[in-house]
Structure 1
Amino acid sequence: MLHLRVICPAEHTDDVLGVLAAEPGATHVVVLRGAAIDPAGDVVQADVAREAANEVIDALEALDIQHTGAITLGPVETVLSTAARKAEKAAPGDPADSVVWEELVSRTREESTLNGTFLAFLTIACLLASVGVVTDSPITIVGAMVVGPEFGPLAALAVALARRKPGLARRSLFALLLGFPFAMAATLVATLVMERIGWMALDSLDAQDQVDYIYKVGPLSLVVAVLAGAAGMLALVSAKSAALVGVFISVTTVPAAGFAVVAVTVGEWRIAALSALQLGINMVGIVVAGVLVLALRLRAGNGADRLLAEARKDRVHQVRRLR
């Protein structure tokens, strides 16, 4: 279940209540007349089945509530209510398979923001990757994969393409196109400094047989990226955060960036180019897979919407008979 809170002008309260009354997946409706101060108006609260959330939000946005008031939505961890169980049963589909699009857009927008925290994590991840390359340590490479925050903007870009959100797409591309060069430049400087003071000593990459898979581009590189991207998007839309760790470890985005930097410092330009190509292939594969997963979810959701529309009509008829 999701908890819905609506702040609306008093003249729209009856319309909001009408939306909730017509929705079989909505229950626990509460009205607080004149309770809102900023923005001023009434407060309407309800618990909504996850499967019905998109339709409720669309109906409220059609009333322009997002501009005249506010719409907030959040998860409810525990609900002990027969009415809630009936509402969930009335909403077709399974909660785990339901994608609340506004929730997904909001979450990915936050994770795709280019800020100091994003740059810090990406730079640390690239530094770890460069150390892993120099020391020929797969464990350190795995650590760099886990620390890297790049899946956020990649997922946001997939959502933007699937939902046609140009603003979100620009935000994501901005984070990726500025974040990676910044992190790689910082890693290059740090690597040169560590070589200068004797902390790192590497003349060639011929002996790095434990981590050389990072720059070896092949068909399986794209396969792994697509599978990881699909798993990552499924984990994101179903809130299965534990699965995201496996996604991070599967894809060599940050390690490829770190390998490219180390290759540049030793003059291995071919390997640097292959590492950059690996980075690009992985990012494209993740985004394409994410778009495909969302497209399939959207198609499945359209079928559920038809069932929900029929249930909503029955609910409207019941409400009218009661009146």
Structure 2
Amino acid sequence: MIVQLRICVPSELSAVTLDACKEHTGTAEVALFPGASVSPPGDVIDVQVAREAVEELLEKLHVLKAQEVGSIAISMPELVLSRLADKAEASAPGDGADALIWDEVTRQTGEDSRLTWSYLAFLILATQLAAIGIVTNSTIAIVGAMAVGPEFGPLAALAVALARRQWALGRRAALALGVGFPLAMLLAALTTWVSAALGLFADNTLDTGSAVEFIYHPGPYSLIVAVLAGTAGMLSLISRRSAALIGVFISVTTVPAAGFVAVALVLGEFEKATGSALQLALNLMGIVAAAVLVLVFYHLVSRRLPEAAARRLRWQLTRTRG
């Protein structure tokens, strides 16, 4: 798997950046376009590198402060036919499917964790679907609510924030969860109250809904499933296998538990509301904890830039600017 980097740097940093790219293990091709960048003025360097070697190359570019004085754009070509690319992948340690690119994961989870109108809309709609599934004893509606819920984005961002100590990202994710879930539950409670007043369902509907009993009966497997789902979800983000996220969405009981809390409180079923709240807490904590452990594991086993190489790059950078 080949990754393409487009690096824009001032002309005075072009030589040292070019050398860092050419000497990097896993690099297939390097192209230099002198003066190609107009704003900001500078050179453009195009690099093709094996995915498993991208993180260490990015560390080198960060040492050179390429992202501060210019820019680094990363793209994934669908198909690269090149013998040099094949040799680069063979020479790079590890496998592209297992490679973690921290900047990629941080940017993706950061975008998914923003408190936007679309995020709130999806969470509200999912909670409404869950509430309907609860009062109608419909597992189909419950599964639909699981699939629609957008909560994994902020949970993944919270895990990245804890693993990388990026507290600004953590605060943004916590805000999305802290505002989104209470608002969605409040609106679900409101629609439940209106539906009950209109006689759309019986007052004892929670006593007859055997298909949704699992929601307010948390147990060891609730936490186990959440841990497995959090692990699978973070692995899918790292390996860019978005199809696996669908399985994550429909395996955890976050949105259904939130919907059940709202319905149970309106109907005066406080014991079941408490059980559902516990279910929600177990799922949220299990997902985040598992995702953090996955990121910590990848951090420990990933190939890091040796400190000697970092010092050499800093010396070259100082020499160039001097």
Superposed pair shares fold, TM > 0.5? yes
CA distance in 2, matches of 1:80, 1:95: 16
Aligned residue in 2 for 1:149: 150
CA distance in 1, matches of 2:225, 2:87: 42
TM-score by length of 1: 0.92
Instruction: Percent identity, please.
Output: 50
Asked if 1 retains the 8 angstrom alpha-carbon contact of 2:8 and 2:44, the reply is yes
Q: How does 1:79-98 map to 2 (within 5 A)?
A: 79-98=80-99
Aligned residue in 2 for 1:318: none
Aligned residue in 1 for 2:181: 180
Comparing 182-191 with 276-285, greater Cα deviation is found at 182-191
Asked if 2 retains the 8 angstrom alpha-carbon contact of 1:204 and 1:266, the reply is no
Instruction: Give SS of 2:29's match.
Output: strand
CA distance in 1, matches of 2:216, 2:230: 19
* CA shift for structure 1 position 126: 0.1
Aligned residue in 1 for 2:314: none
Comparing 135-144 with 191-200, greater Cα deviation is found at 191-200
Asked if 1 retains the 8 angstrom alpha-carbon contact of 2:60 and 2:305, the reply is no
* CA shift for structure 1 position 202: 3.2
CA distance in 2, matches of 1:192, 1:42: 63
Aligned residue in 1 for 2:239: 238
Asked if 2 retains the 8 angstrom alpha-carbon contact of 1:28 and 1:83, the reply is yes
Aligned residue in 2 for 1:286: 287
Amino acid at match of 2:71: A
Unaligned runs of 5+ in 2: 310-322
* CA shift for structure 1 position 195: 2.5
Instruction: Give SS of 1:284's match.
Output: helix
Residues 1:55 and 2:56 aligned together: yes
CA RMSD of aligned residues (A): 1.7
Residues 1:67 and 2:68 aligned together: yes
Instruction: Give SS of 1:210's match.
Output: helix
Instruction: Give SS of 1:250's match.
Output: coil
Deviations 1:87-113 (A, max 9, x none): 111111011111111101111101111
CA distance in 2, matches of 1:199, 1:78: 55
CA distance in 2, matches of 1:171, 1:19: 35
How many residues were matched structurally?
Answer: 308
* CA shift for structure 1 position 200: 3.7
* CA shift for structure 1 position 64: 1.2
Instruction: Give SS of 2:169's match.
Output: helix
TM-score by length of 2: 0.92
* CA shift for structure 1 position 306: 7.7
Aligned residue in 2 for 1:140: 141
Q: How does 1:7-156 map to 2 (within 5 A)?
A: 7-156=8-157
Comparing 156-165 with 123-132, greater Cα deviation is found at 156-165
CA distance in 1, matches of 2:113, 2:305: 33
Comparing 169-178 with 31-40, greater Cα deviation is found at 31-40
CA distance in 2, matches of 1:2, 1:201: 58
Asked if 2 retains the 8 angstrom alpha-carbon contact of 1:204 and 1:268, the reply is no
Asked if 2 retains the 8 angstrom alpha-carbon contact of 1:153 and 1:176, the reply is yes
* CA shift for structure 1 position 194: 2.5
CA distance in 2, matches of 1:73, 1:200: 53
Deviations 1:22-45 (A, max 9, x none): 102112211111111222211111
Instruction: Give SS of 1:240's match.
Output: coil
